[in-house]
Structure 1
Amino acid sequence: MKSQTLNNKFLDDNTLWSNLKAGDEKSFSQLFERYYKDLVSYGNSLSPFEEKVQDCVQDVFADVWVYRTTLQENVVVKAYLLSSVRKRIARLFQRDHIFRKTTSTEAIEFLFDFSIENELVEDEVTAERVLYLNKLLNDLPPRQKEALYLRYHQGFVVEQIAELLDVNYQSANNLLYRGLLSLRKEWKGNLSYILLLSSGLF
């Protein structure tokens, strides 16, 4: 039993997804353990109500299990789960009358704060510049900030970002381009700091 559980930890997402579609509870549990924290973290960036976010994430996993036989076979599992959480939070907002006439995910404000890890800071001057870069990132319009988060923190490609944000490919690409363009315009120093975006160290 322990050997089978250990082996499950090394299965890729697609294999676990196929297994859970076939009714394998262990694969479902493994995906839950693998992504629960990431989904809660992302949900908390969309809503200040932590308990409701956790409920949304649990509901998403419950739906995955209940409707497993109807799920698409070929999906990017993490992107699918994040998108499902985003849509469920949008519906929650609509139900609670936070938004009056829409369930559009575009109405959600992205609350995540970028923060480069302290271990990257080598001296006081560097610390000041890193703090300034964090400020530039966090001052971006919410949609641009979220697009950058999905691209460089979660590692999604433009097509996946478009699906998550419920926009077309060109709109997602524009959000990324405008976000990076704004950073380059305001950032007067070495562009290597901006390249930290691509390292996923946020």
Structure 2
Amino acid sequence: MPPVISDADLWSEMKSGSEKAFSSLFMKYHVSLVSYGKSITQHHYIVGDCIQDVFADIWLYRKTISTPDSVRAYLLSGLRKRIARKLERDQIFKHATDIEHVEFSASFTVLDELITNEEMRSQVTYLNAAINQLSPRQKEALYLRYYQQLSVDQIAEMMQMNTQSVSNLLHRAIKQLRNLWKGEIPQLMILLVLTHCLSTDV
């Protein structure tokens, strides 16, 4: 098994001009970026172009950009901003002025083949329905926290909110889910739903 190269090392090699490292970063995060991009715009045809633009800028300015604390957060944030600018430029949202107008639109649905236990399937189905009752910003915060595994600080920067507001958003989302669930929700079940049951109606 080949050794696992860290994001920091790949980024450093990319900055030095390694096309292989650049390609590795693209391949590593492409699926996550497509998933997230299609979650924040119904205009799925622009997502691929926006991802290409993000990586094109990285390669073009590789000598001057600094190494981010989290490559994943950097790429997701860059894609979010790129999509917002694209939507504004194309006047899809005529009054859009910033990424506040980018709205998380994915829904969560059970993938039956991943769940063989009938009781678990019933519980996950119920949790899916509960999550889909949350606001778009609550769903996006949960998605970024549990699926993309970003820190609260990173989510705050991406969503242009302060850290306390993101903490409150996550707290209210979990509280709302618990109220609908009528009890404690196992974190493993939330992870199962957010990791395996994301649907963007592709």
Q: TM-score range by the shorter chain?
A: 0.7 to 0.9
2:107 pairs with 1:97: no
* Partner of residue 117, structure 2: 122
CA contact (8 A) 1:93 1:103 kept: no
Whole-Å separation in 2 of the counterparts to 1:83 and 1:17: 17
Q: Please name the residue that 2:200 is paired with.
A: none
Amino acid at match of 2:89: R
* Farther off after superposition, 128-137 or 80-89: 128-137
Shift in Å, 1:103: 3.2
Residue 121 of structure 1: CA displacement?
A: 4.7
Of all paired residues, the percent bearing the same amino acid is 46
The residue identity in structure 1 corresponding to 2:27 is E
Query: Aligned partners of 2:42 and 2:115: how far apart in 1?
Result: 29
User: Which moves more between the two structures, 151-160 or 105-114?
Assistant: 105-114
Q: Secondary structure at the match of 2:108?
A: coil
Q: 1:155 aligns with which of 144, 149, 153?
A: 149
AA of the residue aligned to 1:163: E
Residue 117 of structure 1 and its aligned partner are, at CA, apart by 4.2
Which of these residues, 146, 160, 169, is aligned with residue 166 of structure 1?
160
| 1:179 aligned onto 2:173 | yes
The verdict on how the C-alpha distance between 1:40 and 1:201 changes in structure 2, with shifts beyond 3 A counting, is closer
Q: Which residue of 2 aligns with 1:196?
A: 189
2:53 maps to what in 1? 59
The CA distance in 2 between the partners of 1:196 and 1:126, in whole Å, is: 9
Which secondary structure state, in structure 2, belongs to the residue aligned with residue 70 of structure 1?
coil
In structure 1, what is the Cα distance between the partners aligned to 2:111 and 2:8?
Answer: 31
Q: Give the TM-score, by structure 2 length.
A: 0.88
Structure 2: tracts of 5 or more residues without a match: 197-202
1:20 aligns to what?
A: 14
Q: What TM-score results when the alignment is normalised by the length of structure 1?
A: 0.88
Go from structure 1 to structure 2 and tell me whether the alpha carbon gap of 1:168 and 1:190 turns closer, same or farther (over 3 Å shift).
Answer: closer
Distance 2:68 2:136 in 1: 30
Structure 2 residue matching 1:69: 3-state secondary structure: coil
Instruction: Say whether residues 1:43 and 2:37 are aligned partners.
Output: yes
DSSP-derived class of the 2:40 partner: coil
| Alpha-carbon distance between aligned partners in 2 of 1:106 and 1:121, rounded to the nearest angstrom | 40
C-alpha change, 1:81 and 1:63, in structure 2 (3 Å) is same
Report the count of equivalent residues.
194
Structure 1 residues 98-155: Cα deviation after superposition (integer angstroms, max 9, x where no partner):
22333321211101222354333511x5433321210110110000000000001111
Which runs of 5 or more structure 1 residues have no equivalent in the other structure? 1-5
CA RMSD of aligned residues (A): 2.0
Q: Does the residue aligned with 1:127 lie in a helix, a strand or coil?
A: helix
Counterpart amino acid of residue 169 in structure 1: T
Identify if the C-alpha distance between structure 1 residues 121 and 105 changes in structure 2 by more than 3 Å, giving closer, same or farther: farther
